[in-house]
Structure 1
Amino acid sequence: MAKKKNFPLRIDPDLYDVLQKWAADEFRSVNGHIEFLLREAAKRAGRLPKK
């Protein structure tokens, strides 16, 4: 498994609250949910390489 890249993320507190609730609803951590959302957006945009 590839090592994950760490980086700081500044985010509006209200948006973080939304993400926190959404992540809990999906049984994910906030970090895991943000990664999931970004991966789905990259797939839809055709930016993620096909496996």
Structure 2
Amino acid sequence: MPPRKPYLLRLDPKLHAALEKWAADELRSLNAQIEYLLRRALAEAKRLPREAGGGRRGADEEKR
């Protein structure tokens, strides 16, 4: 797996708080939750490259 690319993201404090709560509810880190949501949005828009569809296993895996 290629190394992960760090990226600085500035968020509105209310959006950040909502994402933190959602991540905690899903037993994910905030970073993992944001990555999960981005992957899901890309997949739904059919813009997720085939090799990027996997993601990490474990706490980051969808719980459904």
Structure 1 stretches lacking a partner, 5+ long: none
Task: Please give the TM-score of this superposition, normalised by the length of structure 1.
Answer: 0.92
Higher relative contact order (CA 8 A, sep 6+): 2
Taking only aligned residues, the RMSD between alpha carbons, in angstroms, comes to 1.0
What CA deviation, in whole Å up to 9, does each residue of 1:12-34 have, x standing for no partner?
00100000000000000000000
Amino acid at match of 2:14: D
Q: Which consecutive residues of structure 2, in runs of 5 or more, have no partner in the other structure?
A: 52-64
Mapping for residues 35-50 of structure 1, pairs under 5 Å: 35-50=35-50
1:1-51 alignment runs, 5 A limit: 1-51=1-51
Deviant stretches of 4+, over 6 Å = none
Count of matched residue pairs: 51
